Amino acid sequence: MDQLSCSGKARCPAPFLSKTYDLLEEAGDAGEGRNGKKIVSWNANGDGFVVWCTSEFADILLPKYFKHNNFSSFIRQLNTYGFKKTTSKRWEFQHEKFRKGQRHLLAEISRKRCEPSVFPTFLRASGASSGRWEQSDRRLLLMEENESLRKENLELQTQIQQLKALEMKLLDCLSGCVGTATGAPSSSHCIIRRHSF
């Protein structure tokens, strides 16, 4: 990886940028989603990339390259490095130094820095800035994040129900094994019951 080959005075690209580039190189050309369509790829000019399917990008690719599956967190990271969303019609992002086949340019990309005197103005002007997403894009992003959280919540509820059912089976088996002195089941009966779930 780039970070291992960086020496002394050579600047290394940020891990986020290297991982994003790797993601595009490895998954962009060959990576297809569950429905056979591309999930992410370089754009036609190679000067940006397009996330074609945000849900599969978050579910399949983000966990593979990053330690999360949150698409909005990925977008925020892109924004901190100065990437721009090029169109409101799709999730396409560009940066002048993020280009297909030019990995060496990654070291020239750095995080955006806000001077303290500019920061309050930046907060006030965020809605009017041309670099900011349109209101509908933000709403769409929030809706996707909300849907992702709903799915996660449903999965957790299912896990809780399964664990409660397992707990009941274990308690049933344990009470059957312990039993009372009269009519207590044999130990072989308990072993059979234990393996029934």
* pLDDT band, very low/low/confident/very high, at 187 (cuts 50, 70, 90): low
Coil vs helix vs strand at 93:
strand
For residue 55, the one-letter residue type is S
Judged against a pLDDT cut of 60, whether residue 124 lies above it is answered with no
- Of the ranges 20-29, 55-64, 87-96, 179-188, which one carries the lowest mean pLDDT score? 179-188
Structural tokens at position 17:
């940028």
pTM of the entire structure?
A: 0.53
Torsion of CA 87, 93, 99, 103, to 10 degrees: 180
C-alpha to C-alpha distance for 2 and 106, rounded to whole angstroms? 10
C-alpha to C-alpha distance for 29 and 42, rounded to whole angstroms? 8
Q: What local confidence, expressed as pLDDT, does residue 5 receive?
A: 54
Judged against a pLDDT cut of 60, whether residue 143 lies above it is answered with yes
CATH 1.10.10.10 matches 2-133 = yes
User: What is the rounded average pLDDT of the residues 50-76?
Assistant: 90
What are the residue ranges spanned by the domains of the chain? 2-133
